[in-house]
A = this chain, B = another copy of it.
Amino acid sequence: MDALQIARRAQEASKVTAAAATERKDHAVRAMAGRLASNKERILAANERDISEARKKNLRDSLVDRLRLTAGKIEARMRALEKIAALPDPVGRCFRGKSLPNGLRVSRTRVPLGVILMIYEARPHVTVNSGALCLKSGNAAILRGGSEVRRCNELLGGLWRQSLEQAGLPGDSIQVISGSHQQVRDLLSQDGLIDLVIPRGGEGLVRAVSKDSKIPVIKHYSGVCHVYLDVIADIEKGIEIALDSKCLMPEVCNAMETLLVSTGLSGRLQAVVEAFERCGVRVKGCERTRSVVGRVEPASEADWRTEYLDNIVSVKMVNDVREAAEHINLYGSHHTDSIVTEDRENAREFTRRVDSAVVLVNASTMFCDGESLGMGAEIGISTDKIHARGPMGLEELTSYKLVIHGSGHVMGEPPAFRPASETV
Contact = CB atoms under 8 A, between A and B. Distances in A.
Interface in A86-107: 98, 100, 104, 106
Nearest to A360: B404
Interface in A383-424: 384-387, 389-391, 399-412, 414, 416-420, 423-424
Interface string A272-305: 0011001100000000000000000000000000
Q: Most chain-B CB neighbours within 10 Å: which of A106, A359, A404?
A: A404
Contacts of A360: 403-406
Most buried by B among A196, A351, A352, A386: A386
Highest count of chain B CB atoms <10 Å: which of A218, A236, A244, A356 = A244
Contacts of A420: 278
A100, A106, A248, A417 — which one has the most chain B CB atoms within 10 A of its CB? A417
B409 A401 contact: no
A113 B247 contact: no
Interface residues of A, number: 76
| Copies per complex of this chain | 2
Chain A facing B: main interface SS: mixed
A351 B109 contact: yes
Contact of A279 (B114, B390, B410, B417): B417
A21 to B, nearest CB: 13
Given A279-B417, A399-B389, A401-B356, A373 B411 contact: no
A364 interface: yes
B407 A357 contact: no
Contact of A244 (B352, B358, B407, B410): B410
A372 interface: yes
Contacts of A366: 410-412
A361 interface: yes
Contact of A411 (B195, B364, B418): B364
B411 A367 contact: yes
A361 B404 contact: yes
B385 A389 contact: no
20 contacts: A104-B367, A109-B351, A111-B385, A243-B410, A248-B411, A274-B423, A279-B417, A351-B403, A359-B403, A361-B403, A362-B405, A362-B406, A362-B407, A362-B408, A363-B404, A366-B410, A366-B411, A389-B400, A389-B402, A391-B402
8 closest residue pairs by CB, A with B? A363-B406, A244-B410, A385-B399, A366-B411, A363-B409, A237-B408, A387-B387, A248-B412
Given A19-B352, A240-B414, 5 more contacts: A248-B417, A278-B420, A357-B402, A363-B410, A364-B409
